[in-house]
Chain A
């Protein structure tokens, strides 16, 4: 496969990955998915999957919660995988290349966020004030495509096209212990992700369950899936699921609501102004 065609396919993979946000925030942009696809294109799907698992753990803490924008993991994982497999190198190399790429492309992405996307947001306001609903719709579709999706595709495609020779040269210059050291860092990086998760979840009232999960895994050698099952049972017991008079949580809610809705509808009209929001 010529390098141009490979570059185009990699660009399309990056755009599909970013297309996650058009397709129900469905995790297509995660390294587990993108590295597998990149591996497929580079002719070594197994290696792609393994790189994907490593990068997934390394980036487990980077996700867009609230208004924070995480490193641009799509370009990092697609290009990292493509360069590593293309040069016949290991997983550590994919990570070595992937992290700086992700940070660099985040700069590009932020520029797009600042200078391109606002145009579409304001254009949508204008269409709305004219009562042009279809125009507002178009701004949603074009905005994401031209501001983020296409730029990411272009960055990935051109980087591969012009970068692969340079990268091969660069990899020969980097000393052995640096590559090994980054391999070790690969093992440590998930700690960062887990720390980020703990930051959003841990409280005095639930910190015990972190220790419990750890202890069950190390002493009883229960795999992660098993711990998830135990955790789910604990959650159901401790939130008083059994005290819901044996009825299922959601259905009892719905029935209640359905029964009320007839009366509630009449009442609602009056109630709105009194409610405290």
Chain B
């Protein structure tokens, strides 16, 4: 991708940051989360920008060891912006250094919101849907397609994020807030994600009630009665039930235990099968 003219940072430098950004979550820690990954990715650029100014280089290292967290595949976007701003900071004496971290942190919320709903809620759900439906039949294409469907867009986003971030620098945030672009993208991703989640509830949650009512030729299973109302209504209701429990604040491991308990009780009583 084309980058804006700079007499210092070259495409090669940005590519080093690109590759190094792959380690963003490697040393993820409770205290400052992705700080080590962020500083690892930006270091070669900093070294080049401040090659004549060791003191500024030291403060720049420290600056990028501050707390940071973002959806990992989008981390190159704030990285690009940071590099552009550091570059200005090096040449302009009046540059407000603290604005570099301010911009970085301002991006954290909106970018993660968009990223989580797109990468976790949409892209991964689609990759999982296609991957597992093949893998259920023991097809090796299942895991392979799963990885490809997820990673190709993720790497493309990582690549363009860096260059777009670098090219537009800090002016981006203002622009986004004016046009509402981020909200629009988030909304679009949630439409796609939720319709796929709906379809997966219908096809991938299994809840059978083989118990029959009546006798002889009149016997119908509970399953048929429910499916007569709306097909797959039992998996739907069960999912909504778990959704409500989760919303009420029931802890995840209790929900998991409860599901295991329901399964065992169902098998013991013959209610589920």
A interface with B by C-beta (< 8 Å): 21-28, 30, 32-33, 36, 45-47, 49-50, 52-54, 56-57, 60-67, 99, 103, 113-114, 117-118, 120-121, 124-125, 127-131, 133, 136-137, 139-141, 143-144, 147, 177-178, 180-192, 194-203, 205-207, 209-219, 222-225, 227-228, 230-232, 234-236, 238-240, 250, 253-254, 257-258, 260-261, 264-265, 268-269, 271-273, 275, 277
Smallest Cβ distance from A93 to chain B, in angstroms?
14
Instruction: Contact check, A212 vs B198: say whether CB atoms are below 8 A apart.
Output: yes
Q: Are B206 and A187 in contact (CB under 8 A)?
A: yes
Pairwise interchain contact A203-B268, C-beta atoms closer than 8 A: no
Bound-state Cα–Cα, A128 to B124, Å:
36
CA distance A32 to B140 in the complex (A): 10
CA A219 to CA B230, docked complex, whole Å: 9
Contact (Cβ within 8 A) B54 A202 = no
Q: Is the interface of A mostly helix, strand, loop or mixed?
A: helix
Q: Chain B residues near A128 (CB, 8 Å)?
A: 39, 58, 61-62, 65
- Residue of A194, A207, A214, A253 with most partner-chain B CB within 10 A: A214
Complex contacts, B83 vs chain A, CB 8 Å: none
The one of A32, A141, A147 that contacts B135, using a Cβ cutoff of 8 Å: A32
Chain A residues whose C-beta falls within 8 Å of the C-beta of B211 in the assembled complex? none
Neighbouring A residues of B208 by C-beta, 8 Å? 187
The 7 A-B residue pairs whose C-beta atoms are closest, nearest first, are A213-B198, A185-B263, A187-B206, A181-B264, A213-B195, A181-B267, A144-B26
Q: Across the interface, do A219 and B198 meet the contact criterion of CB distance under 8 Å?
A: no
- A228 adjacent to B184 (CB under 8 Å): no
Number of residue pairs spanning A and B whose beta carbons lie under 8 angstroms apart: 408
A24 touches B155 (CB 8 A): yes
The listed residue (B27, B96, B128, B242) touching A140 by CB distance below 8 A is B27
